[in-house]
Every structure is written in structure tokens, then in C-alpha cells.
Amino acid sequence: MSENDFDVIVVGAGVIGLSCAFGCSTKGLRVALVDPRPGSGATNAAAGMLAPSAEATDGENGSFFASLEALSLWPTFARDVSERSGEPLHLDEGGSLCVGWDHSDRALQAHLARTATSLGVGVILVERVQRAELFRDVTPRITSGHFYANDASIDPDIVVRGLMGALRRDGATFINERATDCVDDGGAVIVQTASRTYRAKRGIIATGYSPDSWSLRPSTAHAIRPVRGSTVRLRLDGPVEPRMIRAVVRGRSVYIVVRSSGDVVLGASSDESSELITEAGTVLRLMSDAIEILPDLEHATFVGVRVGLRPVSADQNPFFELLAGEKWAWVGGHYRQGITMAPLVAKQAGAFVVETAC
């Protein structure tokens, strides 16, 4: 190959790395991705909730507004990926219903609704007698909740397949190895694997949480820590009506994402740990709390459990940072918003390669 094998090389091929690569490939650039298992990591455990409104939290304003911008880009992003890959990406725009099991749980949901309202989110207090369709199959114990109409969801597995298909059709190269070193030599970016060295004009690091130590000087502005998250997978006899419910049950949070296919995702645990394991108690808690809210889930088929390490920045906000020399960019800190942020990081990556004259 030539001295510069590629225009852009992306290290890490979870949904963030794949989206960065997609944003560059749509500019007509030669793109490579380095990852031993594309689509794995935190992406594999994601539920696919595009729900910045229902997830609005005190102290996370930067993440909220970035996610809100990303959500507005999703319809066009889904269409573009579908057209370039032939893989239909269906966006469920049915909103989020948030409920509480007892008085204290409902008080917490009301507090979260006030936080969202203070950020400009339209939140509707709904009663079961007035909006019975929102409470379909929900335990009769729950008579009210808060509805966030702008939230949406999508199947992350299909998003990954679509992005990989689009990139392959655009001629992107998948290097299924781990990067052992990343270097900025002043004239090019260099990525070393166990088998060979690759060069490009620009590089993007999108490894989520990774303990790798490379020659490339790390940023002093950001640091990433892992938060382990587990999701439980069930299946109902489909097709069913898709829906997204977030609940607090005796002080514990649980979400339920039901897809039209009958696939159900329950989540999510949150542990400050880098161990890729799921305890039996976590599975029991998620399933028992979800069944309290949707009793019919007791008859669902158990499919399995997925676990991932979600990358969290010190201020819990995502970033897209240019490193020294501006030939490398580091994108990270997406925490639980990785799927939501996909269209925005694609846009940021495309701007990076254009503005730095790739």
C-alpha cells in the first residue's frame, strides 16, 4: 500500500466507532476500522432507548442537550443508513411512560419530571382512566404516570448490522485485530496491530472504556471510567405493540423495552466495576421488578443476559476532542447514551475530517 493506506482510521467499532466511520465514508473517504469484534462491548448490552427526556438528570445538562440534538438527527440518520446498507432501520417513536410502584417511587418520578420540565421538556401527567392505551397490560396497581412523547427507541443489533453493511458497501476496510499502539508521527497517524502497521491521514479513537496504554499522548482534559451494565433479554409471542416503560419499584429503577418482534429488553444494572460478569441477584431483581409492572412478562421466554462496560467521563458528559497535532480525535464518555448519540458523532467525525483538511 501507499504511505498513507487510508484517509481515516477508526480505532474501536462499537456503535460510536461505526458511526464515526460512517460519517467519514459518506464524505467519499477511504476508511478503516480496527477492532477484533465489531459491535461488541457496551453496544452489545444496549437497549436502544433514544430517551433524553425521560433520562434527564440533575447535573447532566451537557449530556442532555447533546442527546436532544442527536435525537433530532435520528430520522435522517436511520434513512441514510438504510439506503446505503439495504438494512431497514425502524424507529419506534411511541414515547416513554414513567411510573412509580408506591408513594415514594411516584414522588421520585415527579421529581424527575420537574427536572425535565426545567430543561424545556414537555412532560404530561397521565391518568389511567384518561389514557388507558398507555397503561395496556400494566398492573392495575399503577393508575398514573408521566409521559414523555418525544422519546423513541431502536434495536441496536439492527443499527450495528446497518452501519457495518453501509460501510462495506462504501468500501471500508475492517481490520479484525486489537490495536497494540497508536502513534502521531507528525506526518500521519499510525496504528500498530500484532500483524502489521497501518497509516492514515487522520485517526479517531472510539474505544469506549479501554485500559490500553499507547504512545499517543492521552488527553489531560478527560478521563474515562467503566460502569458495568447488564440487560436481560426475553421474548414474547409476537408481533406485539412496541412500548417503552421506565419504572421505580421500591426505590429500584428498571426499564422495559418491548419491540414489535416480541423481543423484550429489561435493564439496567449499574455497578462501578470493570468485571464483565452478571450476578444472579441482578437478573432476579430486574426480572421481578419488571414483572411487578408488566405481569404478562412472567410467561415470556428467557433468552439470555448481556453485559457491557459503559464509558463515563469525569463530568458525565460526552466529548469529541482533538488531540495534540489535530490529526487524532478522541470521542468518548457516552455512558448510557451511546446509541442515542450515533447520528451526532457521525456528524462530528465528518466535520473533523473536512475541517482538518483530510
- 134 occurs within a structural domain: yes
Residue 305 three-state SS: strand
Residue 180: CATH number of its domain: 3.50.50.60
- 101 occurs within a structural domain: yes
Nearest Cα to Cα of residue 84 among 36, 34, 9, 31: 31
At residue 268, the pLDDT reads: 79
- 1 occurs within a structural domain: no
d(CA 308, CA 120): 32
Say how many domains are in the chain. 1
- 48 occurs within a structural domain: yes
**pLDDT tens, 204-240?**
999 999 867 788 876 777 889 999 999 999 999 978 9
Q: Is residue 159 within 8 Å of 342, Cβ to Cβ?
A: yes
**Picking from 26-30, 58-62, 253-257, 296-300, which range would have the lowest pLDDT averaged per residue?**
58-62
Binning pLDDT at 50, 70 and 90, where does residue 357 land?
A: low
d(CA 188, CA 349): 17
Binning pLDDT at 50, 70 and 90, where does residue 97 land?
A: very high
Would the pLDDT of 1 be above 50?
no
- 339 occurs within a structural domain: yes
Compute the mean pLDDT over every residue in the chain, rounded to the nearest whole number. Answer: 93
- The pTM assigned to this predicted structure is 0.95
- 251 occurs within a structural domain: yes
Rounded (5°) CA angle 335-283-257:
60
**Distance from the Cα of residue 170 to its chain's centroid:** 23
Q: Is residue 258 within 8 Å of 212, Cβ to Cβ?
A: no
**pLDDT tens, 283-316?**
999 999 999 999 999 999 999 999 999 999 988 8
**pLDDT tens, 27-45?**
999 999 999 999 998 999 9
| Comparison of pLDDT for 93 and 4, the residue scoring more | 93
- 280 occurs within a structural domain: yes
Domain region containing 166 = 6-355
- 268 occurs within a structural domain: yes
d(CA 243, CA 99): 14
